[in-house]
Amino acid sequence: MPIINIVLLLVEMAVYGSLMLGLFRARFLIGIGPFFCAIGAVHVFAVYLAMCVFLALPFGLSASPGSVVFYTGTLSLLLVTHMIEGQDVARQPVLGLLLGTVAVVIAVAFLALEQGRAGAARAADLTVLNQMGMLMLWSTLLLFLESLVLFRLYDRLLAALRRHSFAASWLTLALVCTFDQIFFFGAVYLVQEVPFSAGVGGWIGKLVASGFYAALIWHYRRRLDGPGLAQMRRRPGAPQVRFRHDPATGAFHRGRLETLLADLLSIARTTGRPVSLMLVAVDGFKARRAQQDADGGDRDLRRIGGMLAESLRSGDYVVRHDGDAFAILAPGLPHMAAAQVAATLRQRVAALPMPPGVEVSLAIGLATAPLDGESVAKLLSVADERVYAARQLGRDRVIGAYGA
């Protein structure tokens, strides 16, 4: 039985880690919100398991899958979010969990008052809710403190270990999990009076889980998701990408274009669906700049960017490109359908009211994978050539694989 439980714990780590990393990788298609919501839901489940479910291990030890599998997994997922998206993004689910847990504890307190007043026919047992609520609050406070340490500790260890990310991840998770085991298991021990052997077994299990998740993260980043923006910011000579969105237009920041496109192409190769890229050059702002009205030009460019976003599907992306230009990424959209969308966009921009003497038009170059290539560089090159061709032919037109 103890050996079977070890196998089951390892299988649970593999399934949970793979599913959550898959959800994280899909963030450019469905957003990162579902990933954060999943972390929150699993965290509640982890605390419940840590209270009452312990599996027998060899040498008379035991461990809870809530702590070993799910809590260590949560720390690992926060760490990989920090690695790829940066610590500002990685802190968001922890803050949400903390505020939500405080709200739950307050709600349980009011529920206790309501039970005392109403005398319901079937009274709720608030003992478990109170115990779980307090443990949830304590666990989330620990998670908040641990996240502050987690990201800085990883960055320092990564530098000290000469950028060996696997070793830095494992050591970071092991140290933070040791801290958590001391303080969280201590609270569970006081509330539930579980045997001390469960604390020792849980600590050993967390160390093993830290290594397992570190290896999973290393494989994921090496094979599937690359360095991401957080690492790009750290590279000498790399472009400094400080914003997720372009402050001038509200579209995605231009530094995210290649990352977004690479991720969509990778998914497209797996699913067999096309990905269309539209490079949209906005012509006509030279007149505004000649009038020394740069602020007005920026406002109009933002209007155009907003109009482009409103005219697209929810799964499409508008990214600021060089100068007065945008890039539109449309996953799953075939070439001819993308050409029709581009023609509609051109007509809508032409119909926008502009100041006297300012005429704005779009020159759009369209490229689709796999029709025009399957790499980021190839698609950008083809789309750029077609934008140039559209301008040479008189602007205000769409050029695709089959001409204007």
Q: What's the pLDDT tens digit per position in 340-385?
A: 999 998 888 888 777 766 778 888 999 999 989 888 889 999 999 9
Return the structure tokens found at 164. 């060996």
Q: What is the DSSP string of 318-376?
A: EEE-SSSEEEEEEET--HHHHHHHHHHHHHHHHTS---TT---EEEEEEEEETTS-SSH
Sign of the alpha-carbon torsion through 6, 11, 12, 14: positive
Q: How much is the mean pLDDT over the chain?
A: 81
CA distance 49 to 204: 17
- pLDDT tens track for 211-238: 999 999 988 877 766 444 344 334 444 3
pLDDT band for 133, please (50, 70, 90 cuts).
confident
- pLDDT tens track for 304-338: 888 888 888 877 888 888 778 889 999 999 999 99
Instruction: List alpha helices for 119-164, DSSP H.
Output: 126-160
Specify whether the CB–CB gap between 372 and 261 falls below 8 A: no
285 closest CA partner among 228, 352, 229, 341: 352
Specify whether the CB–CB gap between 67 and 135 falls below 8 A: no
pLDDT reported for residue 252: 78
pLDDT reported for residue 138: 83
Sign of the alpha-carbon torsion through 46, 47, 52, 58: positive
Q: What is the DSSP string of 50-97?
A: HHH--EE-GGG-EE-HIIIIIIHHHHHHHHHHHHHH-HHHHHHHHHHH
Using the predicted structure, report yes or no on whether residue 277 has a pLDDT greater than 90.
Answer: yes
Q: Cis omega before residue 370 (within 30°)?
A: yes
Residues in CB range of 368: below 8 A, 6 or more apart: 274, 275, 276, 277, 333, 334, 335, 338, 379, 400, 401
220 closest CA partner among 208, 209, 212: 212
Q: How many residues does the chain have?
A: 404
pTM of the full structure: 0.59
Burial class (CB within 10 angstroms; exposed 0-12, middle 13-18, buried 19+) of 400: buried
173 closest CA partner among 212, 137, 123, 140: 212
Q: Which domains does the chain have, with CATH numbers?
A: 2-233 (no CATH), 254-399 (3.30.70.270)
Residue with tokens 């963030």: 27
pLDDT reported for residue 237: 42
- pLDDT tens track for 147-176: 889 988 988 888 888 778 889 999 999 999
